[in-house]
C-alpha cells in the first residue's frame, strides 16, 4: 500500500512539473494566446503545422505502437506525432501521446469509431486548419470503409519481419469493413477468418490495420503539403439517394455519411432475386464469381447458415455504388446464385476494370473482387 501511495504522490508531483514545463515552453515560443471569450484562459495556437513524413515508417511505428499494450488509437497517433516531434520539435515534443489510449477498441472497448481512425484523425486535426483537416479526414474515413485490412503490404511486412514486433508473421485473412465502426470491422474479420476476438491473430490484424491507417494518413498529408491531394473516396450513391429524402429540405431527420444499407436496407430499386441451389450451408460465405474475368455477365454465389435479410451490391474501386443486385430481401438458410449482367443501375454497360461485390447478410459483411474485361 505504501509503495502505491508513494507512486501516486510521485505521479501528482511529476504531473505538476510537466504541466508547468509545457506552459513555460509554449509561452516561450509565443504559442499561447488569450481566449477570445475574454475569460483569461490561455490555449495553444492551432494548427501546429506539418512536414513530409515517410508513410512506411509510419506503418512500422503504428504497428509497434499497437503492441505496446496501449492499442490502436495510441499506435496511429504516436506513429505520426513521434515523427513530427523528431522533425519539428516543439510543440509536438510537449504532447503525451499516451493520452490517446482511451480510443482503443472504439473508445474503451465500446466498439464505436475504429481506434486507428481516432488516433490518425486526431493527428491530422493537430496539423491542419479546419478546412484541410476536414478534407483529409473525410478521405481517411471513406478510404477505411472500402479497402481490405490488413493490406497486402502489412501482410508482406509481417512475413518478411520488417515490423519491429514480429510475434505473428503469417498471412492474415483480409476483409473490407464497409464501415468505420470498430465492432463491424472486427466482427467481419472474425467471422471470415474464424478466429476469436481474443486470439493473437485478431490482435495482429488490428496491429497491421493500425499501421495501414497511419501510413495512409501520412500519405494524404504529404500529398496535401505538395498541393497534390486528390480524394479517392466519393460518397456512396446509396447515401446520396437516402439523404435526398432524409437530408435538409425534406424529412431532415438524420446526419451521416456511412453506408446506409447495413442498417436500413437498400431502397434504390433495380434489383433481382437469387436462385437457391443448395438447402444447407454451415457458414456465411460469398464465393468468388465465375467466370472471372468475365464479359458480359457473371454468376455470384453466397451461402447463409440461417435465415437472414440480404443485400448484395456491386461497387467500383472508389466505393461508388454501381448496381443493386439484391435489395434487403429475406432468404432462408442455404446457398444461392444470382447473375450480374455487367450493367449499372441505369441499365448501361459498365467499363472494363475491377469491381467489388459486397454481401450484407444480417450481421455478416463480406466483399470479393470481380474483373470485367471487354
Q: Output phi, psi for 170, to 5 deg.
A: -85, 160
DSSP type of residue 178: S
Are 178 and 277 in a shared domain?
no
pLDDT of residue 39: 57
Crossing angle for the helix pair 71-87 and 55-65, to the nearest 10 degrees: 140
Predicted pLDDT of residue 284: 93
The full length of the chain comes to 374
Would you call 37 helix, strand, or coil by DSSP? coil
- Considering the domain boundaries, does residue 63 fall inside one? yes
Same domain for 164 and 60? yes
Flag whether 147 is in a domain.
yes
Q: Which helix (H) or strand (E) holds 351?
A: none
Note whether residue 9 is domain-resident.
Answer: no
Q: In terms of domains, do 151 and 289 share one?
A: no
Contacts of 231 (CB under 8 A, 6+ apart): 135, 138, 139, 142
Give the residue from 196, 225, 254 where a domain finishes: 225
- Which cell is 373 given? 474485361
Q: In the prediction, which pLDDT does 2 show?
A: 37
Q: Where are the alpha helices (DSSP H) in 29-161?
A: 55-65, 71-87, 115-127, 130-146, 152-159
210, HSE (Cβ side, Cα atoms, 13 Å): 35
Q: Which of 183, 199, 225 is the last residue of a domain?
A: 225
b/e sequence 89-114, b meaning 16+ C-beta within 10 Å: eebbebbebeebbebbbbbeeebbbb
- pLDDT tens, position by position, 257-286: 877 666 665 555 555 678 888 888 899 999
Nearest to 118 by CA among 141, 95, 143, 96: 141
For residue 4, is it within any domain? no
Q: Does residue 332 share a domain with residue 197?
A: no
| Same structural domain, 252 and 217 | no
Which bin fits 132, alpha (ψ -120 to 50), beta or left (φ > 0)?
Answer: alpha
Co-location of 337 and 290 in the same domain = yes
Please give the residue range of the domain that contains residue 253: 242-372
Helical segments of 194-228, H only: 200-225
Q: Are residues 205 and 68 in the same domain?
A: yes
Residue partners of 159: CB distance under 8 A and separation at least 6:
169, 170, 171
The model's pTM: 0.69
Strand, coil or helix: 166: coil
Residue 358 forms part of a structural domain: yes
Let me know if residue 30 belongs to a domain. Answer: no
| 262 and 207 fall within a common domain | no
Indicate whether 204 and 301 sit together in one domain: no
Number of domains into which the chain is organized: 2
> Is 45 within the bounds of a domain?
no
Residues 263 and 199 in one domain: no
CATH number of residue 246's parent domain? 2.60.40.1930
Same domain, 219 and 254: no
- Rounded Cα gap, residues 89 and 161, in angstroms: 30
Residue numbers in the chain where pLDDT is lower than 50: 1-35
pLDDT of residue 262: 61
Question: Domain end: 167, 193, 225, which one?
Answer: 225
Residues 62 and 167 in one domain: yes
User: Does 308 map to a domain?
Assistant: yes
Amino acid at each position: 500500500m505504501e509503495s502505491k501511495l508513494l507512486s501516486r504522490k510521485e505521479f501528482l508531483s511529476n504531473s505538476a512539473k510537466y504541466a508547468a514545463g509545457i506552459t513555460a515552453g509554449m509561452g516561450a515560443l509565443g504559442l499561447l494566446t488569450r481566449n477570445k471569450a475574454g475569460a483569461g484562459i490561455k490555449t495553444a495556437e492551432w494548427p501546429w503545422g506539418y512536414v513530409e513524413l515517410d508513410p512506411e515508417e509510419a506503418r512500422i511505428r503504428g504497428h509497434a505502437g499497437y503492441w505496446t499494450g496501449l492499442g490502436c488509437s495510441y499506435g496511429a497517433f504516436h506513429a505520426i506525432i513521434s515523427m513530427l516531434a523528431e522533425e519539428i520539435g516543439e510543440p509536438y515534443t510537449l504532447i503525451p501521446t499516451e493520452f490517446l489510449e482511451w480510443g482503443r477498441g472504439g473508445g474503451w472497448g465500446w466498439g464505436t469509431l475504429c481506434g486507428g481512425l481516432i488516433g490518425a484523425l486526431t493527428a491530422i486535426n493537430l496539423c491542419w486548419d479546419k478546412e484541410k483537416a476536414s478534407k483529409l479526414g473525410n478521405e481517411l474515413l471513406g478510404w477505411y470503409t472500402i479497402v481490405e485490412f490488413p493490406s497486402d503490404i502489412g501482410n508482406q511486412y509481417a512475413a518478411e519481419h520488417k515490423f519491429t514486433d514480429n510475434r505473428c508473421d503469417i498471412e492474415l485473412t483480409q476483409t473490407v469493413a464497409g464501415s468505420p465502426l470498430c465492432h463491424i470491422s472486427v466482427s467481419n474479420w472474425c467471422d471470415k477468418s474464424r478466429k476469436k476476438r481474443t486470439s493473437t491473430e485478431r490482435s495482429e490484424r488490428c496491429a497491421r490495420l493500425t499501421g495501414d491507417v497511419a501510413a495512409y494518413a501520412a500519405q494524404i498529408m504529404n500529398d496535401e503539403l505538395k498541393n497534390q491531394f486528390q480524394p479517392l473516396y466519393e460518397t456512396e450513391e446509396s447515401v446520396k439517394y437516402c439523404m435526398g429524402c432524409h437530408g435538409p429540405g425534406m424529412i431532415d431527420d438524420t446526419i451521416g455519411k456511412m453506408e446506409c444499407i447495413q442498417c436500413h436496407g437498400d431502397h434504390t430499386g433495380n434489383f433481382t432475386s437469387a436462385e437457391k441451389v443448395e438447402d444447407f450451408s454451415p457458414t456465411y460465405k460469398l464465393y468468388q464469381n465465375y467466370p472471372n474475368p468475365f464479359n458480359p455477365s457473371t454468376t455470384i454465389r453466397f451461402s447463409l447458415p440461417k435465415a437472414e435479410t440480404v443485400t448484395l451490391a456491386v461497387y467500383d474501386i472508389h466505393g461508388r455504388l454501381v448496381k443493386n443486385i439484391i435489395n434487403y430481401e429475406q432468404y432462408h438458410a442455404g446457398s444461392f446464385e444470382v447473375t450480374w449482367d455487367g450493367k449499372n443501375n441505369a441499365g448501361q454497360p459498365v467499363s472494363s476494370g475491377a469491381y467489388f461485390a459486397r454481401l450484407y447478410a444480417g450481421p455478416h459483411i463480406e466483399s470479393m473482387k470481380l474483373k470485367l474485361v471487354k
